[in-house]
Amino acid sequence: MNDSQTRSGDWATSNKKNTTRLRYWTFAWVATMAVAAFGPKIIWDFATMPTILALLVNLAVGFGMIAANKRYLEGLDELHQKIFLDAGALTLGVGLVCGLSYELLEDIKLISFEPEISHLVMLMCLTFLAGMIFGHRRYQ
Amino acid sequence: MKNRLKVLRAERDWTQAQLASELEVSRQTVNAIEKGKFDPSLPLAFKVARLFGLSIEDIFHYEAAS
């Protein structure tokens, strides 16, 4: 029993660590993205070297975030993995279908502005959030 | 799939949180299994069976969807 309690304590601690690690990586990725996006304009006046460096750092931190997300997902129990997978599948589908249709809108002259990738990212974030909320409610 | 998890847990006077801790899953997962909303994987079913000292068939019963 004590051994089992220690193991489950380890599992809970490990989950918390994974969540914290993912939070830090995500924060770092957002921060490096902001530096790569605004640095050239505001800090170094579009000098090539710092711009490339900022972009490479952002990419490297982005891959770190992906690895942290993978570890976080692997640390979840099977129900939460399923909820995450369902929400991810929904997001992928909505992103693909709506993204292509959105891009088509400009090609066929139904909208006059250039489609922005940020709109698609926002849609995918909202879809994933809705999928997670729906999944959690479904198994309550 | 039906199961006797809730009854077995109640017999031992365990809370869902205690059982979840023993199985290294969340309390929500135990609740979903008890309510028949979520079917556990084979490794988790074995873990449950081992914890209660029973066979998987003593705890889980397959019922074909009508």
Cβ proximity of A58 and A98 under 8 Å: no
- How much is the pLDDT for A1? 47
A95 and A51 fall within a common domain: no
Cβ pair A77:B29 closer than 8 A: yes
For A14, name the nearest residue in chain B, comparing CA atoms only: B24
Question: Higher confidence at residue A119 or residue A8?
Answer: A119
A8 and A57 fall within a common domain: yes
Task: Mention every residue, 6+ apart, whose C-beta is less than 8 A from residue B58.
Answer: B4, B49, B52
Residue-wise pLDDT tens digits, A69-100: 999 999 999 999 999 999 999 999 999 999 99
Token pair belonging to A22: 């993912």
Taking Cα atoms as reference points, which of B3, B16, B11, B2 lies closest to residue B59?
B3
A69 and A81 fall within a common domain: no
Query: How far is the C-alpha of A124 from the C-alpha of A102, rounded, in Å?
Result: 13
Cβ pair B28:A8 closer than 8 A: no
Q: Which residues form the domain of A86?
A: 77-140
Cβ pair B21:A77 closer than 8 A: no
Cβ pair A78:B24 closer than 8 A: no
A108 and A126 fall within a common domain: yes
A15 and A59 fall within a common domain: yes
Is A74 touching B (CB cutoff 8 A)? no
The phi, psi pair for B52, rounded to 5°, reads -90, -5
Confidence of residue A13 (pLDDT cuts 50, 70, 90): confident
- Count of H-run helices and E-run strands, chain A: 4, 0
CB pairs under 8 A between A and B: 40
A69 and A82 fall within a common domain: no
A98 and A52 fall within a common domain: no
Confidence of residue B63 (pLDDT cuts 50, 70, 90): confident
Q: How much is the mean pLDDT over chain A?
A: 93
State how far the alpha carbon of A83 is from the alpha carbons of A69, A86, A125, A138, B64, in Å: 15, 5, 15, 9, 24
A70 and A85 fall within a common domain: no
Is A12 touching B (CB cutoff 8 A)? yes
Please tell me the total count of domains within chain A.
Answer: 2
Domain end: A75, A108, A128, which one? A75
Q: Where are the beta strands (DSSP E) in chain A?
A: none
Model ipTM value: 0.91
Cβ pair B38:A7 closer than 8 A: no
A62 and A18 fall within a common domain: yes
Residue-wise pLDDT tens digits, B3-43: 999 999 999 999 999 999 999 999 999 999 999 999 999 99
Q: Please, what are the domains in chain B?
A: 2-61 (1.10.260.40)
DSSP B18-63: HHHHHHTS-HHHHHHHHTTSSPPPHHHHHHHHHHHTS-HHHHEE--
Is A133 touching B (CB cutoff 8 A)? no
